[in-house]
Structure 1
Amino acid sequence: MIVHVGNVRRSAMASPERETPHRSRQFRRECYLSRVERRLRNPERLLAELVDDALGADGKLIEAWVMEFDPKPMLEPGAGGGATKRRTFLKSASTALVVPGVAESSPPVDAVARLRDALIPDSPAASENLALTVFGRAVTRARRDFTAARYAGLAHDLADLVPVARAVTEPAGYALAAQVYHLAARTLIKLSAPPYAWVAAHQAEQAAEASGDLRAVAEARRDMVSLFHRAHDYGKARDLTARAGDILRPALPKAGPAAWGAYGTLMSTGAIAAARLEDRHTALSLLGEADEAARRSPKLVLSAGHVVTYRIGVSIILGDAGTAIDHARRIAPEEIPTVERRAGYYTGIAEAYTLWGKADRAVRALLSAEKVAPAEVRRAGARRVIEDLLHRDAHSNLSGLRALARRVSVTL
C-alpha cells in the first residue's frame, strides 16, 4: 500500500480528541508519519483508518493495509519456538506502539454513563439538527471505530449523536438514526452494560421501522437476537432469527450489498443461539445463509472470514474443538478485515485449544487477540478462557499467561 500522507497529515491529526499540548508528542507523530512516507516503517492500522477517513476512501485504504501489512496466520503445524518468542516480545512492545497521543483512555464507566444518559435523559432532552450528509459521515466514522474495537471513545461519540438521531424526520434520516442506536446497542454490549443496550436496541427497531430500510431492520433485529442470547433465552433468539429471515428474505434479491451484510450477520448470530440449544441442523442452515450473504456483502460489513468466526463458535458450543480449529485453518486472519471480528477469531481459537487441552497454543492465540484488540480480551468470553487455563494449572509457567491475567484483572 503506497500512500503519501503529507497532504492529509493535518486533517488526520486535527481531531480534538487526538491533539495533545505536549510538543514532544507532536514531534514524535511528525517523525512517525515521515518514516512511513519514506518507507522506513510500516504504517499502523490506525494510520490507514485516519487517512482513509480524511480522503473519504470508504474503507479501500484499510483493505489495502490488511492485504499488505496484517499479521500472518499463526495456525501452521509446529508453529512455536523462536518465532513464538519473537511474537510474544513484539506483542508486548507493540501494545504501546501506536501513534503517540491517540490511545483510547476514556474510562469505560464514564463512557457508559454518558451514553446511558443520552439514551435515557433525566428530563426531556433537546434534539440537535445536523445536515444529513454531515450526520452520515459521523455515522460512518462511528462504524469504523466499532470495527476497530475502540468502544469507550465510541460510546462518548455516540452520546453526542443520539440527540441528532432523535431530531430526524425523513426516511433517510431514520435509517441513519437506526444505525446510531444499533451501534449504541452493540457498544453497550461490548462494555458489559446490557440493560442499557436493551433501550438502544428498542430505539433502533423503532427508527428502522420508520425508515423502511432493509439493512436497518436486519441490524435492529440482530441486536434483539444478541440480547436474548446473552439473557440465556436461546429459544427466543433462534425463533426471532427464523421469523426475521422469513420476513426479510423475499426482499433481498433487490437489496443492496450492505443489506446482505446485515442479513448475514443476523443469521450468524442466530446460529450461535441454535447451537446453544444443540440444534445443529438449524445452526448449520443459518450459517449457510450467512455464507451466501457474505458473497454479496461489502467485505468490511461481512466477509467469509467473519462467518468463519461464527463457525468456530458454533463448533465450540457443540463440543467439537477439532472442527473449530479446522475452520480456523481455512482462513487467514488478514482475510477478516475488521479488528473486532479478528480478535473474535483468535479468542475462538484460544477457547478451542483450551477444550482440546493444548494450553500453550491457547495462550498464544489469546496474546494475538490482545495485540489485535486489547478491549476484546477484557470481555467476559476471553476472561473465562483465561480463568479456565489458570484453574487447569494454578502455577502455570506458560509464557505470558499470568502476565495477561494481571493485565485483564483475572485472579484465581
Structure 2
Amino acid sequence: MGFGEQLRHWRERRKVSLSGLARATHYSKGYLSRVERGLRRPERLLAELADEALGANGKLVEAWVSEFGEKPMLRSSAGGETTKRRTFLKSASTALVAPALAEPSPSADAVSRLRDALVPDAPAQVTTLVPAHLARAVTRARRDFTAARYQGLADDLAELIPVARSAADPAGHALAAQVYHLAARTLIKLSAPPYAWVAAHQAEQAARVSGDLRAIAEARRDMVSLFHRADDYRKARDLTASAAELLRPHLPEVTPAARGAYGALMSTGAIAAARLEDRHSALSMLEEADEAAQHAPKLVLSAGHVMTYRIGVSIILGDAGTAIDHARHVTPDEIPTVERRASYYIGIAEAYTLWGKTDRAVRALLVAEKIAPAEVRRSSPRRVIEDLLHRDRHSNLSGLRALARRVSVTL
C-alpha cells in the first residue's frame, strides 16, 4: 500500500474522521482527502503528525519513506520516546486548522510604508472616510492581525493612517486610536520597535481625546509591551498598575470589548512583573485577566488567551512543570485566534526546552510554524531554536536544522 492508502487504513482503524485528522495535523480536510486518494504528494511533517495522532508506531513514516525515498523527519526512538512524543501530540490533536497562514517573511517595504504613513516626509494630505466604512476597515484589520497576516496588514494600515488623522469627534478619535494601536502591534510583530513607539504615542493621544476606555486600555498596553521589549520591566509593570487604578472603577459599565482590552493589558503587564520576579503582582494581574475574559468577546480575550500568558509567566519564573501543566488544562481550540494559538505552542516549546525535553520542544515549534510561520520568525522562538541548536550542534534533533534555516537562525 502507498502512503495515501496507509493513511486511510490507519485513520479508519482508529475511527478518526477526516475532520478529526485535520484538527490533529493542521492540514485541511480537502488536502488530506487528496493525499489519501494519491492526488497530492504529502509533506514529511504530515507523515510525522499523522503517525503520532493515529498511534501508527512509525508505520506511516515508513510508508512515506518507502514511497518518496527520503529520510523521515523525526528519528524513530527506542523505548519511551515514542510515548513521550505521543503525550505531547495528544494536546496538539485537538487544535483547529488555522484559517489562514501568514506570509513567509515580512518585507522591509511593508515596514517602510507603515513608517512613512506614520511620519510622512511632507505635510500629510488628510483623507476622509465615512465612519461606518472606517469601522469596517478596522474590523478587517483586527481580523488580519489575529490571523497573523502581518505584511498585508501593514500595507492596509498605511492607507488607514491618513484617514485616522481626519478624526474630528470622540468616536472618530476612538477609531483612530484603534488604527494606531494595530499599527503599533503590527510593527512589534515585524520587529520594528522604533516605529512602533511612534504609533503607540499617536494611539495614546487619540485614545485620550476620545475618552474611550477600550482605546485607552489598548494604547496603554502598547506602551507596556514596548517598555518590556526595551527591558524596562519596572516601568512596564508600574504602567500596568497605574492603568488598572484608572480603569478598574469603570469596568462594570464598559463594553465587553473594553473588558477584553483591559484583560489583555493585565496579561501583558503580568509578563513584565514576572521578569522582575514579582510573582504576587504577576499572578494578581492574571487573575484580573481571567475575570475580564469571562465578560469579553472570545476573539478579543478568551480564557485560552490568558492561559498562554500563564504559561509565559511560569516559564519566566523558571517553573517549566507548571507551564506544561497549564498547557494541559487548555486545548488549542479554546484559543480562537491564530496569533495566540501559535504562541501557545511556542510557549510549550520554551517550557520543554527549559525542562530538557528537547524532542518535544522541536515538535511544538513545528506545529507553531504550521499554524503561523510569521510567529516562529520572531525573537522569542528564534532564541529557543538557537538554544536547541547549541544543545545539539550535530542536528540530531529531527527537523531542527531545517526549521532553523527557514527562519534564518544560524550558529
- TM-score range normalised by the length of the shorter chain: 0.7 to 0.9
CA shift for structure 1 position 106:
7.7
TM-score (norm 1): 0.77
Counterpart check, 1:370 vs 2:376: no
* Structure 1 residues 258 and 319, CA gap change in structure 2 (3 angstroms): same
Counterpart check, 1:341 vs 2:326: no
Partner of 1:322: 321
Partner of 1:135: 134
CA shift for structure 1 position 271:
0.3
User: 2:105–2:374: 8 Å Cα contact kept in structure 1?
Assistant: no
CA shift for structure 1 position 81:
4.8
Aligned mates of 2:60, 2:213 — CA distance in 1: 45
Partner of 1:183: 182
Aligned mates of 2:199, 2:281 — CA distance in 1: 28
Aligned mates of 1:235, 1:84 — CA distance in 2: 51
Segments of 5+ residues of structure 1 without an aligned counterpart are 1-38, 48-72, 92-96
Aligned mates of 1:78, 1:278 — CA distance in 2: 42
Aligned AA (2:204): E
User: 1:229–1:273: 8 Å Cα contact kept in structure 2?
Assistant: yes
Aligned mates of 2:134, 2:58 — CA distance in 1: 49
Q: Which moved more, 1:77-86 or 1:286-295?
A: 77-86
Partner of 1:398: 397
Counterpart check, 1:233 vs 2:232: yes
1:290-305 alignment to 2 at 5 Å?
Answer: 290-305=289-304
CA shift for structure 1 position 103:
7.0
Aligned AA (1:318): L
* Structure 1 residues 371 and 83, CA gap change in structure 2 (3 angstroms): farther
Partner of 1:213: 212
CA shift for structure 1 position 172:
1.1
Q: Secondary structure at the match of 1:399?
A: coil
Aligned AA (1:377): V
CA shift for structure 1 position 83:
9.2
CA shift for structure 1 position 369:
0.4
Partner of 1:201: 200
Aligned AA (1:174): H
CA shift for structure 1 position 296:
0.5
TM-score (norm 2): 0.77
Aligned mates of 1:303, 1:151 — CA distance in 2: 22
Partner of 1:154: 153
User: 1:128–1:163: 8 Å Cα contact kept in structure 2?
Assistant: yes
Segments of 5+ residues of structure 2 without an aligned counterpart are 1-18, 29-48, 65-71, 75-91, 93-97
CA shift for structure 1 position 398:
1.9
Aligned AA (2:124): A
Partner of 1:331: 330
Counterpart check, 1:361 vs 2:332: no
CA shift for structure 1 position 104:
3.6
Aligned mates of 1:272, 1:80 — CA distance in 2: 40
User: 1:111–1:156: 8 Å Cα contact kept in structure 2?
Assistant: yes
Q: Over residues 109-158 of structure 1, what are the superposed CA-to-partner deviations in whole Å (9 max), with x where a residue is unaligned? A: 00000000000011110010000111011000000000000111100110
Q: Secondary structure at the match of 1:273?
A: helix
* Structure 1 residues 123 and 384, CA gap change in structure 2 (3 angstroms): same
Q: Which moved more, 1:106-115 or 1:169-178?
A: 106-115
Aligned AA (1:392): R
Partner of 2:277: 278
Q: Over residues 26-51 of structure 1, what are the superposed CA-to-partner deviations in whole Å (9 max), with x where a residue is unaligned? A: xxxxxxxxxxxxx9x9899999xxxx
Q: Secondary structure at the match of 1:153?
A: helix
Counterpart check, 1:249 vs 2:248: yes
Aligned mates of 1:259, 1:394 — CA distance in 2: 48
* Structure 1 residues 321 and 263, CA gap change in structure 2 (3 angstroms): same
CA shift for structure 1 position 78:
12
Partner of 1:145: 144
Aligned mates of 1:244, 1:129 — CA distance in 2: 32
Coordinate RMSD, CA, aligned = 3.0
User: 2:102–2:149: 8 Å Cα contact kept in structure 1?
Assistant: no
1:74-85 alignment to 2 at 5 Å?
Answer: 81-82=57-58
Partner of 2:260: 261
